[in-house]
Amino acid sequence: MGQLVDGVWQVGTAGAAGEDGQFHREESTFRHWLTADGGPGPQGQPGHAAASGRYRLYVSLACPWAHRTLIMRALKGLESVLPVSVVHWYMGDQGWTFQPGRGVIPDPELQAEYLHHLYTAAKPGMTGKVTVPVLWDREQRSIVSNESADILRMFNEAFDGHGALPGDYYPAALRADIDAINARVYEAVNNGVYKAGFASTQQAYDEAVGPLFETLDMLDAQLQQSPWLVGGRMTEADIRLFTTLLRFDAVYHGHFKCNVRQIASYPGLNGLLQRMLAMPAVARTVDAHHITHHYYQSHRQLNPSGIVAKGLAWLRDLPPAQL
């Protein structure tokens, strides 16, 4: 996908593996925190005060990492509090762009043509990847965070005194269990599909696909005993797993060679997928066109023709995202 080097965009290949044949995900660059009163974050991160209209969320409707933040925004009823911009599904030489297209919402802050323009505005001379989601502070004209896991938790509680709907998806009593399941799901599933899909050696692929399906088997057994992953209720752990499950059969199964089994064949996992899709707040964040067209058209090293697979009828039949 390319990256910034000393503030200058350098063209690269989306998801290129390293010299060891493995896909390596970089740490997020911006890790400030949004809090109700502007105090520091849970680990002492510099704080920004929650306020209606002060922030803008930049997302890709194709990206599972950005999708989790959209789901929390919808569950907490933050649509009128937190405006959103949506990049084009196609990631080419310039990375994420605001090229006109179905479902694209342009950038009104900098009138940026490319997402990397926001990064260099926030941090001139930056070196690193340009990713979604991005939480932008319109007052300070800078990036609060580009780490989806952090943004998920900020949205869960920062706006509770600023018009958010009730609901706690990271309750104190369940945090240790949520953190434990998140850690395994992130490594083996959320990031595991990418490690399998972008592997450039057989060994790297085998090392990714084995733990992926071992973990899916474990999660399926657990979800056959309880409808939710932790505590018998929906938490952020379910949200984080859901965005990968949603894309699995339509994209990861074939495009990323994760074809040992389909999610449709797992009663527990498929049950979670369908339960979450039945929630209107979740369903309106899903956009099948962006999901399928991004992966099949952007990763030309995996799909040189750019032909978009027809995919799943139930996913295609969902209405476009309504943000």
Cα dihedral sign, 168-170-173-177? positive
Q: How far is 149 from 151, CA to CA, in rounded Å? A: 6
CA neighbor of 150 nearest in space, from 33, 4, 285: 33
Helix axes 175-185, 202-225, angle to 10 degrees: 140
Q: Where are the beta strands (DSSP E) in the chain?
A: 3-5, 8-10, 33-35, 47-49, 55-59, 84-86, 134-137, 142-145
Catalytically annotated residues: 63, 194
Q: Pick left, alpha or beta for residue 221 (phi over 0 → left; psi -120 to 50 → alpha; otherwise beta).
A: alpha
- Cα dist. 286→173, 237, 259, 306 in Å? 30, 18, 23, 22
Residue 234, phi then psi, degrees to nearest 5? -70, 130
